[in-house]
């Protein structure tokens, strides 16, 4: 695998490419998820950069395989962990995990490679989906900070505010 500077748009784009390819194919629904997010503004990834990174990542995957014919390329947990550790910024990790979850859920099914990627991201980055979901809703304004009632002993529980 090629080396990218930690926390760079290239490193982030490669993780999004990995999420898209984790089920073994390039799905239009998964690509549409990227259009829904403003990845250029949030992560500095424009369309040209993403296209370049996904092409390079596919090439690296083909080189990474030591088999003569491979119907579906898979990465081991160690390699996935190495790629995830290229993102060190906590805010970027949270945003990328949110995007990766939406990407792998875009086609309505979660296959093994996708589940491994999400699980590894949570372990390597020390995040959990509950926290990501709360922060995501809070960032979009659907959960008020007052919704986290710390006085009642329900510390950390979220109540929806209509």
Q: Give tens-digit pLDDT for 129-157.
A: 777 766 655 554 433 333 333 333 333 33
As a whole number of angstroms, the distance between CA 75 and CA 18 comes to 10
Give the integer Cα–Cα distance in Å for 52 and 22: 18
68 pLDDT higher than 60: no
Q: In sequence order, which ranges of 38-89 are alpha helices (DSSP H)?
A: 39-43, 47-64, 77-84
Tokens of 100: 């990766």
Tell me the CA distances in angstroms from 13 to 42, 78, 87, 136, 151, one per residue in order: 12, 19, 11, 20, 41
pLDDT score of 155: 35
**Of 84, 77, 60, 76, the residue nearest 1 (C-alpha):** 60
Instruction: Place 75 in a pLDDT band, splitting at 50, 70 and 90.
Output: confident
pTM: 0.78
Domains and CATH numbers, the chain: 9-127 (1.10.3680)
């Amino acid at each position: 695998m090629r080396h990218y500077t930690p926390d760079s748009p290239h490193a982030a784009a490669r993780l999004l490419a990995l999420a898209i390819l984790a089920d073994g194919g390039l799905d239009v629904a998964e690509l549409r998820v990227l259009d829904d997010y403003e990845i250029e503004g949030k992560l500095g990834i424009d369309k040209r950069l993403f296209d370049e990174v996904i092409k390079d990542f596919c090439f690296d995957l083909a080189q990474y395989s030591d088999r003569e014919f491979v119907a579906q390329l898979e990465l081991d947990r160690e390699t996935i962990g190495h790629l995830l550790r290229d993102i060190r910024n906590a805010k970027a990790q949270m945003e990328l995990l949110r995007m990766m979850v939406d990407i792998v859920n875009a086609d309505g099914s979660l296959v093994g490679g996708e589940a491994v990627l999400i699980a590894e991201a949570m372990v390597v980055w020390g995040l959990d989906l509950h926290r990501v979901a709360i922060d995501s809703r809070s960032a979009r304004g659907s959960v008020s900070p007052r919704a986290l009632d710390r006085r009642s002993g329900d510390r950390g529980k979220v109540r929806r505010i209509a």
